[in-house]
Structure 1
Amino acid sequence: MRRGWSSNHLVFISLFSCKMSLSSPNQFGNPSWAERATAIASLLLHMPLVLIWTLLTSPFHPVNAYKSWKRVLADKLFHFFTKHLNAAQMQWILGDTYQVYTAWMKGKGLSPVIDDLGENTRLFWIGKRRTDRVILYFHGGAFLIPMPFFFADFWEHTLTQLQHRGVDAGLAVLNYTLVPSAAFPTQLRQAVRALDYLISTGVRPENIQITGDSAGANLALQFMSHLLHPLNGIPKIRLSSPIRGAYLMSPWVSLSGEGGSLVSENDNDVVGTKCLAAWGRQVLAGIPDSQRPYIEAIKASKPWFSNLKTVVDRVLITAGDAECLRDEIVIVADRICRDHEGAQLVMHKRGVHDDPYFDFLTREAKVGEITPIIWDWLAAGFKQS
């Protein structure tokens, strides 16, 4: 993997600078002027001190001691960002996924490849638009913040790694509406629209693999739940064959959990317990209990996914053993794996939430242990089609 800063990092810095200086009341994410001032002061004054202290104490930390100094700083930066800024502040600084994607493509010297599906639903293609084999990707961010640019770096590199394994595929990022602009089940409706669109262009279900991280993996679970238990008001999906696979990275399976690893890993993970709880309250606001199993897989009954094999051929779930969501992910994964012989859970030793992505933020010379497993699994799925 390349070392140093790429053009995409510089584009991200430029986007950050523009957001800080040119924000207007009409754009997405509109914190008060006091919140803006607080965000700037926190990032410029408080964060450097926290990063320095984290680096100095990292040799004595149970997780950081095994990381490069770049990963230590990157993980703590992400943790600081999510801990000290609220959703409106993060949206103000980061913008939306369209802005991140177009800036990322500009950094690559490429023109954006976008399919507008209507109802504020779009597909952003990383690489060429294809109709033979497609990865449909749901990005994370607690349904509140956009896809980070280094997530796109990971998936671009994934396509390259698939080619090295003899597989050519396309990857489409679902641009769904973020909270508070829209609430559940809007994002599920947009996911259904995206799959219907891909099938209408000639992509067969057995040549589609759905992937998602964190809230994106939550959306993938919503999608699979809807396949099994159609939700009123959302179009039904009629498949000619099961979808080839679903990969869930650090899925956000409980938005209201507490205890267990949410407490024990609070100081180890890149996203803390209080942050997860605050985000969960925002996303769950107004959702009736009858619909909670769709957006909180841990609240689904044990037989909820018992027929999953009929709609998704293979399932891979990965998590870090140092992430706050670990215990809840294990519970849901065990239920899925119990009834689906093609499902598996892989635990990343000393891994944090969405761990594989952070190697691409810091341009690590070597990727983590779980990343090649992901690439091999995706390649194997397409080779079966």
Structure 2
Amino acid sequence: MSAARDTSYGNPTAIEKAGAAASIALHLPLVLGWTLLTSPFHHNNRHKSARRVLSDKFFYHLTGRLNIKQLQWLTGTTLDVYEAYVKANKLPRVVDELDEGARLLWIGERRTDRVILYFHGGAFLIPMQTTAAPFWKHAQDELKSKGKDVGIAILQYSLVPTATFPTQLKQAVVAVQHLLSKGVQPQNIQLAGDSAGGNLVLQLISHVLHPVPDVPILVLSSPFRGAYLMSPWVSITSQAKSVFSNDSSDILSPGCLLYWGRAAVAGVPESQIQYLEAIKAPEGWFDGMDKVVERLLITAGDAECLRDDIVVEAEKLVKLYKKDGAARFVLQKYGVHNDPFLDFSTPGQKLGEVTPIIVQWFAAGFEGN
């Protein structure tokens, strides 16, 4: 008789907790010290500040050395990350409790005129990065300076192993339905997602085009105004060349990606794998996407492990948009996974070249709305 699957979240053993603590206290300082000494000789680090180099290596070390339970224990939940951010920045705590165990977490006030609905990354295993909320607050402030007051709604969805596909898709549908029920029009919603969050945006689009059984059908009176995918996870079990060739430059290791990928797709029927791995979708799968989402922006880093798969999928998706300027793919030189977020790992860092592009893209999407 097989053992029952452990569905607990962030519950490592005492030995695993001690191992995580030892890795951080004993091994990590040596890794960071060596990284700082050698970074001038690494072409991908020469343009980065010392703080950014150390922050990137810190993330690489933790995700590469710790198992899923240890990472969940250390990072908490998306609600924990959100509450710590709004408290530290003296922002109001604005939370909408949704069906299916989901929540919408608002940065600033709740709005119904213009909304960016954000799905966070983390391989469906770990919560929103601490760098995500500062990025979105910056985007919100920049949009306000351009005369665009925008609500930022973060979806807190359930994580593996507590819940698996299609739970996260159900929660994304519920989030959209909630916004629609409050009077937000689809043409005033722009979707956004990084990594696994970008994957979830593509799941949502796939579901509109090809409904998943037992997931509520999403009926839209008009297309979403736009969708932005940052380093989208389009191939969860990738063996692409860049997965291994960019190991020394990215914030995620090949071993980490493969380990997380196996956990994320465990139990997903092969007949539904295209919802989780867009790159495996049959030809014509995304035909009509431009009728679901009017505008598309995809960004990735040329130094990230997922680069090759993102480039392949981005080229296919961009071709679906016939209207000039409706779809764009930006490959950032020296960029790593989720690079725009990482400039917010410590205060006062110089922002990369892609962040202004992202902000302007959202501003253009809300033009006239």
- Note whether the superposition's TM-score is higher than 0.5: yes
**Is residue 179–residue 283 contact of structure 1 (8 Å, CA) maintained in 2?**
yes
**Is the Cα–Cα contact under 8 Å of residues 356 and 367 in structure 1 kept in the other structure?**
yes
Name the counterpart of 2:328: 344
Task: Work out whether 1:375 is the aligned partner of 2:359.
Answer: yes
Which residue in 2 is equivalent to 1:331? 312
Q: Distance in 2 between matches of 1:372 and 1:133?
A: 19
1:138 corresponds in structure 2 to: 119
Q: CA deviation at 1:316?
A: 0.3
Query: Residue type matched to 1:353 in 2?
Result: H
Alpha-carbon distance in structure 2 between the residues aligned to 1:384 and 1:328: 35
Structure 1, unaligned runs of 5 or more: 1-25
SS at match of 1:119: helix
Residue 107 (structure 2) aligns with: 126
Shift of 1:109: 2.3
Give the CA RMSD over aligned residues. Answer: 1.2
CA distance in 1 between partners of 2:91 and 2:312 (Å): 42
Which whole-Å CA distance do the structure 1 matches of 2:253 and 2:145 have between them? 37
Pick from 339, 345, 368: which aligns with 1:361?
Answer: 345
In 2: Cα distance, 1:363 partner to 1:82 partner: 22
Structure 1 match to 2:3 = none
**1:247-266 counterparts in 2 under 5 A?**
247-266=228-247
1:162 to 139, 143, 148: 143
Q: Assess if the C-alpha contact under 8 Å between 2:99 and 2:171 holds in 1.
A: no
Instruction: Give every structure 1 segment of 4 or more consecutive aligned residues whose post-TM-superposition deviation is greater than 4 Å.
Output: none
**Where does residue 7 of structure 1 map in the other structure?**
none
Give 1:300's match in structure 2, choosing from 254, 261, 281.
281
2:53 to 72, 80, 105: 72
Contact kept, 8 Å, 2:195 with 2:230, in 1: the verdict is yes
Amino acid at match of 1:295: L
2:4 alignment counterpart: none
Deviation of 1:62 (Å): 2.0
**Alignment-derived partner of residue 203 in structure 2:** 222
1:181 matched to 2:165: no
Report if aligned partners of 2:79, 2:156 keep a CA contact under 8 Å in 1.
yes
CA shift, 1:384, in A, is: 4.3
- Name 2:82's counterpart in structure 1: 101
User: Matches of 1:300 and 1:264 in 2, distance apart?
Assistant: 25
Query: How many equivalent residue pairs?
Result: 360
Q: Which amino acid aligns with 1:352?
A: V
Q: Distance in 2 between matches of 1:310 and 1:259?
A: 31
CA contact (8 A) 1:306 1:336 kept: no
Q: Are the counterparts in 2 of residues 28 and 96 from structure 1 also a CA contact under 8 Å?
A: no
* Contact 1:302/1:335, CA 8 A, preserved across alignment: no
Aligned-partner Cα distance in 1 for 2:104–2:198: 17
CA distance in 2: counterparts of 1:188 and 1:178, whole angstroms: 12
**SS of residue paired to 2:361:** helix
Q: Structure 2: how far apart are the matches of 1:363 and 1:351?
A: 19
Structure 2 counterpart of 1:278? 259
Secondary structure of the 2:308 match is: helix
Shift of 1:305: 1.2
The structural deviation recorded for 1:110 is 3.2
Deviates most, 155-164 or 110-119: 110-119
Larger mean CA deviation between 57-66 and 187-196 belongs to 57-66
Secondary structure of 2:96's partner?
Answer: strand
Equivalents in 1 of 2:177, 2:97: separation in Å?
13
| Structure 1 range deviating more: 95-104 or 368-377 | 95-104
- Rounded Cα–Cα distance in structure 2 between residues aligned with 1:253 and 1:363: 31
Whether the aligned pair in 2 keeps the contact of 1:306 and 1:340 (CA below 8 Å) is: no
Deviation at 1:127, TM superposition (A): 1.0
Q: Which has the higher helix share?
A: 1
TM-score, normalised by the number of residues in structure 2: 0.96
Deviations 1:338-369 (A, max 9, x none): 11132211010100000011111122442100
Percentage of matched positions with identical amino acids: 55
**C-alpha displacement of 1:103:** 1.5
1 CA distance for matches of 2:140 and 2:87? 19
- Output the CA distance in 2 between the equivalents of 1:153 and 1:226: 30
Residues 261-297 of structure 1 show CA distances to partners (whole Å, capped at 9, x for unaligned) of 0011011000111100000000100101110000000
Residue 49, structure 1, aligned to residue 33, structure 2: no
In the superposition, relative to structure 1, how do residues 325 and 27 fare at CA in structure 2: closer, same or farther (>3 Å)?
closer
Report the Cα distance in structure 2 between the residues aligned to 1:107 and 1:76, rounded to whole angstroms: 25
What residue identity is the alignment partner of 2:107?
Answer: I
Unaligned runs of 5+ in 2: 1-6
C-alpha distance in 2, partners of 1:202/1:152? 25
**Would you say the 8 A contact 1:113–1:125 is kept in 2?**
yes
Partner SS state of residue 97, structure 2 = strand
Query: What is the CA–CA distance in structure 2 between the aligned matches of 1:111 and 1:261, rounded to whole Å?
Result: 42
Is 2:186 aligned against 1:210?
no
Letter in 1 for 2:148: V
**AA partner of residue 104 (structure 2):** L
Deviation for aligned residue 1:118: 2.2
